[in-house]
Amino acid sequence: MESGITREKALALLKTYNKEPFHLQHALTVEAVMRFFAEHLGYAEEADFWAMAGLLHDLDFECWPEEHCKRCVPLMQEAGCTEELIHAVCSHGWGLGVETEPEKEMEKMLYASDELTGLIGAAAKMRPSLSCTDMELSSLKKKFKDKKFAAGCSRDVIRKGAEILGWELDRLLGETLQAMAATEAHVREEMQALGV
């Protein structure tokens, strides 16, 4: 699986269209989570591609939220991204005005984990530690069931993600929490390196 773009160039592209620290942190978080899952699920040789899809998945969201997963196509084509990477990025918007359906395991993982990383991140900010490293699955499940908490994180998409992966919801919640806990320090270092 080839992405057609270096991480350095992808990061520059991301920063061109994303200025908000929240969006940059989300991109870095999903990148790290996707790399974690590639290695965890037996796709270590594809880890760079999985991570690249995570890094660029919301490339167009900050500037063009109403054209999310559509406006990114010409931006990525111009940057030299492969059609395979573009398909992967677009597929995470499936069912939300985007017809590109997740097909490969990597695309299903991106679809399933994107909204969930936002929910876990919001839950971490409510903790005294401001971290997910000490968060229990039971605590996350309570936040998931509370529809008023992080209402912008679609529970339906998270459930659908677990379903298309063939996973129980608890497995998706638990393993994504594990992925975020394992990569949290790295994401913090990346944010500092960006000067954010």
Q: 151, 143, 148: which is closest to 126 by C-alpha? A: 143
| Tens digits of residue pLDDT in 69-106 | 999 999 999 999 999 999 999 999 998 777 889 999 99
Reduced to 3 states (helix: H, G, I; strand: E, B; else coil), residue 98 is strand
* CA gap 27, 6 in Å, rounded: 16
Q: What is the pLDDT of residue 145?
A: 97
pLDDT tens-digit series, residues 10-26: 999 999 999 999 999 99
Q: What percent of the chain has pLDDT over 70?
A: 100
Please tell me the predicted confidence (pLDDT) of residue 95. Answer: 81
Q: What is the mean pLDDT of residues 136-152?
A: 96
pTM: 0.96
Provide the mean pLDDT of the chain: 96
Provide the residue ranges of all domains of the chain, joining segments of one domain with +: 7-193
Q: pLDDT tens across 47-60, in order?
A: 999 999 999 999 99
Across 95-119, average pLDDT: 93
Taking residues 123-134, what's their average pLDDT?
Answer: 96
